[in-house]
Structure 1
């Protein structure tokens, strides 16, 4: 298998000299892959080094913030005491919040003081939660809001957050039913993401069906001199709220609440205002908290995804592969099942690179990655573990099924068409080695070595073929 020493050496060379205290290779490796943003500033609060995650948080190129004033990136003139205190501080950025923490650094190069800052997504401070007419919200509702906020910002995924939203909204508005809709990727429809209470329900709505989305602001139906019910609403005789959900400045969804026990035809305007104004204020706060929570979850997921995805192919990287393979192996051993590992290598890739250039080589890897994402779905996970080397984790797959899966993919690769710089490139082939648990031991290292040995036998056999561990043992 090809070593990744070359890429690691380039990483070390790229950063050498920029920050003397980070020259240690392992420190560089951690700094470059952590999801936390890291930045080093001099005494004038000028950035002298940053890691990729900090650049992503600032939505800039990795080298695009060096020499900038840290305060200007955060919308402040200077950080001053916040940089010297060492205490965590929540700073707003693009509709979300980041926890900022600083520490002084000691260097041996000279006596110039340096400061290391770390940044990570966090909930907004309690004092930053906006509320109009806060006095109208009861003490019990404030307590529930505090608990709700804590749960919102503890969510690690959007699916988990949506489940939390549904349960919390049912608790905060027991007299109402409601839905949370999120825009589909096509942006032409909003899909039902969560609901609570008993009432009218539809699995999707169009943006023009809702007055709040058309007008770009929250809309309370039922207590205005001129009112029009939304198309997605069931009837026009009960008050309702529609509140856009906004993340990083973009409207990503809509929160809808309806109050079926209140009938507009038999209630005075004053009585309606007495009942609904506190609910409106509470709904505004909930919509804002949901918006901030969605923004934080998406930012966290983006950073996490970038740390475990290979940028060239879009496949899972070696870090994710090692962690997931071990987890799946543990599950397999616990239930006494089967798990297969496929080691896959592009045949004669170095010669291909030398003959056609590195851009053509990258085109091969990109095309192969796209084909893998299409082919290996469900319980099969395709990973790029280095250079032209790939691995496929196949839980609940025995040796025969894994062999057939790998051979089908090998044949698809042989038919794959590759284009680079506007021209069609020569075809490529792959060789595969298959190892399966429990036939190949019960630890990941042995499984990987067995798959590599089978891959070596496939190359010995002339390449463009698949060899299983049993065939490899027979040849050995």
Structure 2
């Protein structure tokens, strides 16, 4: 009929007298005939059919066995639904694309939320270790199935060492040279795969290379380290290298690296400023203000724990003569050497500070009075062994006078303890090269002595302890 001619492109003369198999319209023509043997009627079966031009279209077929001129015949009714299928396929593709976009937006939203929280946490970090742990946790959340490492430069800047790893990262790759990483050499992210012709970073073991991305961490015009992320084919067998190293994923890794680099740079700057504010620039020891801060805290802790604290106040003998004879550079070297000596004799919990001029104070938490006296004698004896050459001149041996006080024997507050140690130091300076014990306090400590002073006593507050005695001896001002 006309519909057949329009749908298939065959003319009536070409098909009259031909069997259904001869026309080669159906890929599986016998399937229709076969169904009629058991089920003579087929309704709305979708079957592809081939038109005269060779194109394949989709038809909605219904069959019925009818009798014509005494013979059973198969009547096939076909409606071309190719356009409808095309529209349905286009709608399905649009729906799938929309679903992918929705999923991508949800992923971006989740990533933005995690990165925002990461930024807040990094701002609250007080140490490099905390910042690295946070960054590693975020990498695990946003890059599931991956493995990698956060590698930072060592103190000397010659090597990089993994400060945090995840996903079974190999310890064999935890330390490497900056020249082994293409990202550091090029100053920008470097992606590679063991199946590519591009260069693979030398710090990546060939047996574990897979697909990987290295992002340099740079902040405040300086390289801090590199963020290495690896994606093996085994972890995501369905993902191609191109899919895993897509532009959005690379931007995500770069964002994590940038957040981490800025946080680490700020922490290092904060540590530097903190160190400058609590350290003596010449000797590297803690300064007076920090000593007051820590001693106040230790007094509170000692009161709660009912423990003791030892205080050593030291003054170099005849230090003014060293400056006058050999110059201030020689005096500075003397102070440095005495500072190193005190540090070498200190425990991890001890606080050694330069109190001012040639005076030093050593705070000894959980140290008994007898222990403090023994430590003072050890320091006094060791100081006498300091002899060195400076600009072709021999300086030394040195000597030191030490006043010893302890909590609770000599005071219940920061001010009273330092005053007691200071008075003992004055008595030691009369003889020089000796250790003097503070006079024990008699009675209970007033309530106000349990408080911690926020500011160190001024020079004027300390002067009255010695003012009447300096007239008699004079050498205290050396």
* 2:192 aligned partner: 221
Distance in 2, matches of 1:429 and 1:345, equals 9
Distance in 2, matches of 1:331 and 1:360, equals 40
Q: Is the 8 A contact 2:194 2:210 kept in 1?
A: no
Task: Specify which of 153, 164, 176 is matched with residue 194 of structure 1.
Answer: 164
Aligned-pair CA distance for 1:324: 0.8
CA-to-partner distance for each residue in 1:244-292, whole Å, 9 max, x for gaps?
A: 222332323221222346568875455445xx43221101111112111
Aligned-pair CA distance for 1:417: 2.6
Residues 1:448 and 2:415 aligned together: no
Distance in 1, matches of 2:139 and 2:376, equals 48
* 2:218 aligned partner: 246
Aligned-pair CA distance for 1:135: 8.4
Q: Is the 8 A contact 1:238 1:264 kept in 2?
A: no
Residues 1:379 and 2:349 aligned together: yes
Cα distance change, pair 434–190 in 1 and its aligned pair in 2 (3 A):
same
Residues 1:256 and 2:225 aligned together: no
Cα distance change, pair 390–472 in 1 and its aligned pair in 2 (3 A):
farther
* 1:335 aligned partner: 305
Distance in 2, matches of 1:369 and 1:173, equals 50
The 5 A counterparts of 1:37-436 are 138-202=108-172, 203-222=174-193, 225-233=196-204, 235-236=207-208, 238-260=210-232, 262=234, 267-273=239-245, 276-436=246-406
CA-to-partner distance for each residue in 1:117-136, whole Å, 9 max, x for gaps?
A: xxxxxxxxxxxxxxxxx989
Cα distance change, pair 365–283 in 1 and its aligned pair in 2 (3 A):
same
Distance in 1, matches of 2:178 and 2:393, equals 43
Distance in 1, matches of 2:262 and 2:195, equals 29
Higher Rg of the two aligned structures: 2
Aligned-pair CA distance for 1:419: 4.3
* 1:465 aligned partner: 434
CA-to-partner distance for each residue in 1:50-96, whole Å, 9 max, x for gaps?
A: xxxxxxxxxxxxxxxxxxxxxxxxxxxxxxxxxxxxxxxxxxxxxxx
Q: Is the 8 A contact 1:237 1:263 kept in 2?
A: no
* 1:34 aligned partner: none
* 2:407 aligned partner: 437
**So what's the TM-score if we normalise by structure 1?**
0.64
SS in 2 for 1:337: coil
- Stretches of structure 2 that go unaligned for 5 or more consecutive residues are 1-103, 443-478
**So what's the TM-score if we normalise by structure 2?**
0.64
Distance in 1, matches of 2:375 and 2:143, equals 51
Aligned-pair CA distance for 1:225: 4.3
Cα distance change, pair 138–189 in 1 and its aligned pair in 2 (3 A):
same
Q: Is the 8 A contact 1:383 1:390 kept in 2?
A: yes
SS in 2 for 1:310: coil
Q: Per chain length, whose mean CA-contact separation is higher, i.e. which structure has more relative contact order (CA < 8 Å, sep 6+)? A: 1
CA-to-partner distance for each residue in 1:177-235, whole Å, 9 max, x for gaps?
A: 22212222233322221223334234423334433234443222239842344344353
Q: Is the 8 A contact 1:239 1:263 kept in 2?
A: no
Aligned-pair CA distance for 1:137: 6.8
Cα distance change, pair 164–464 in 1 and its aligned pair in 2 (3 A):
farther
Distance in 2, matches of 1:300 and 1:471, equals 42
- Stretches of structure 1 that go unaligned for 5 or more consecutive residues are 1-133
Distance in 2, matches of 1:417 and 1:472, equals 38
Distance in 2, matches of 1:166 and 1:446, equals 49
Report the aligned-residue RMSD: 2.9
Distance in 2, matches of 1:166 and 1:189, equals 20
Aligned-pair CA distance for 1:350: 2.6
Distance in 1, matches of 2:353 and 2:416, equals 18
